[in-house]
Structure 1
């Protein structure tokens, strides 16, 4: 039955979608390791590989462009891109985004601290008078975003936040748990930085497609194929490859800090 359903969606897409005419799907995203990022000028990541493979099975060609997150959001809202990778669902985006029913992955935003400068944090109230490093435009949930009793200080990259943490320029850094530990391995900071137990928020992240003719159907076909692929050994192999990666990322602490919510 899964193979019949897959064939149905592929045939329907070929018959009805504008993409069947050879249109290339242009996806925008930012560096969000280990889900999607660039290394040596080439796109990599769990969700990059999965998305590329799923679209290939559907006969759809994909072009990737990496930009600051705020610009990605602006481009998709203005209709200048066909899709955006690893975006959260919210009502404000419904008029211009179509989401496949199956999420790409789930994120848990947690706090990280330098082992040399520990803080007793079990709830948001314990952040009083502290400075937390964030990423411009990321949505950590209303409770965190709107809390008045601590300072949020944005950095241009997640790597830069960990660098600032090591230099004592911020007290804590907030990022996705999987992404945070991935960067600690890549930066060689596993012995100097640790995760706090408090979970700031949990959210699913999706492929978002620009609302154009044929995109609702494409989203349904993508979701069906993605569900199928998640049951295959190749999916687990992709995740294992990135969660055990220990390569090197250049420290970006001294990059210019400027404004980016998923």
Structure 2
């Protein structure tokens, strides 16, 4: 027969371990509650490059096509956020180190995919083209090999899509002059320090307008690379969750017509840039 002292000890142990399990469950519930509240109230921090007309500061307010789209997506998600404009290289590092919650508008590359989570949904399609001085004697045909002997102005740390990036990596484009901004690249073009500038098409037109040099620079329509741009997140559990919500929300916007409406309201998109 089992002694009463054994049964009493057994019951005591059951109560003790029951209390421990209860404490663990309470702690877990508190942790989940904190994470849930943090996810609902925490202000997200997004970083980007000042890149008119997609994103730029005007009277200390973030504006542009990309900003309008991001506003619509995250307002639907009920996620408050702030946008910080940084040099592109620093902006990339902030997301890679998970100090920022997202970055836009960003081109995909396999190298970047190693350190960031890219949205499945395209945020905005962009067109990359080549510009030169209108009085230059360049006769470009669209063959990227003809850029081999030209001085090419590019913004440092910016991807220009698979074709251009590959041509640079393989040495086809080998006379690269790096700048910190598209505006600086076009100023070098006017100063005859580069032969051509590779730029996002709408961004290039915006710079020409702001510098009032539309009559001095020409677009080479032989070169037009349509490149999707995305929203990217840090490789964390929070980044993965945010990415899934982002993709679902943007997909719904494209289905219900809001996506095209936001682009149309921006009044700056045309041609390939207005595609889904």
Whether TM exceeds 0.5 here: the answer is: yes
2:187 alignment partner in structure 1: 163
1:120–1:126 Cα contact (<8 Å) kept: no
1:124 alignment partner in structure 2: 144
Which of 142, 149, 154 does residue 134 from structure 1 map onto?
154
2:168–2:174 Cα contact (<8 Å) kept: no
Query: What SS does the aligned partner of 1:199 have?
Result: strand
1:88–1:204 Cα contact (<8 Å) kept: yes
User: What is the CA–CA distance in structure 1 between the aligned matches of 2:69 and 2:154, rounded to whole Å?
Assistant: 27
1:176 alignment partner in structure 2: 200
Higher alpha-carbon Rg = 2
* Paired residue total: 230
2:152–2:173 Cα contact (<8 Å) kept: no
Question: Deviations 1:114-163 (Å, cap 9, x if unpaired)?
Answer: 11123112222222432111000122321244325641101121111111
1:17–1:213 Cα contact (<8 Å) kept: no
1:16–1:214 Cα contact (<8 Å) kept: no
Query: What SS does the aligned partner of 1:183 have?
Result: helix
- Measured on the aligned residues, the alpha-carbon RMSD in Å equals 2.5
Tell me, yes or no, if structure 1 residue 64 matches structure 2 residue 83.
Answer: yes
Cα separation, partners in 2 of 1:169 and 1:92, compared to 1, 3 Å: closer
Q: For structure 2, which runs of at least 5 residues remain unmatched after alignment? A: 1-32, 271-276
TM-score scaled to structure 1, two decimals?
Answer: 0.78
Higher percent of residues as helix? 2
Q: For structure 1, which runs of at least 5 residues remain unmatched after alignment? A: 1-13, 245-262
Tell me, yes or no, if structure 1 residue 86 matches structure 2 residue 105.
Answer: yes
1:1-262 residue pairs with structure 2 within 5 A?
A: 20-122=39-141, 123-140=143-160, 141-148=165-172, 150-199=174-223, 201-230=225-254, 231-232=257-258, 234-240=261-267, 242-243=268-269
User: What is the CA–CA distance in structure 2 between the aligned matches of 1:19 and 1:199, rounded to whole Å?
Assistant: 47
Question: 1:55: how far off?
Answer: 0.3
Larger relative contact order (CA 8 Å, sep ≥ 6): 1
Question: 1:184: how far off?
Answer: 1.8
Question: Deviations 1:91-133 (Å, cap 9, x if unpaired)?
Answer: 3333442222211112222110111123112222222432111
User: What is the CA–CA distance in structure 1 between the aligned matches of 2:269 and 2:59, rounded to whole Å?
Assistant: 19
User: What is the CA–CA distance in structure 1 between the aligned matches of 2:234 and 2:173, rounded to whole Å?
Assistant: 38
1:55–1:61 Cα contact (<8 Å) kept: yes
Question: 1:229: how far off?
Answer: 2.9
Cα separation, partners in 2 of 1:91 and 1:25, compared to 1, 3 Å: same
1:111–1:175 Cα contact (<8 Å) kept: yes
Query: What SS does the aligned partner of 2:237 have?
Result: coil
Query: What SS does the aligned partner of 1:196 have?
Result: strand
Deviates more, 1:65-74 or 1:195-204: 195-204
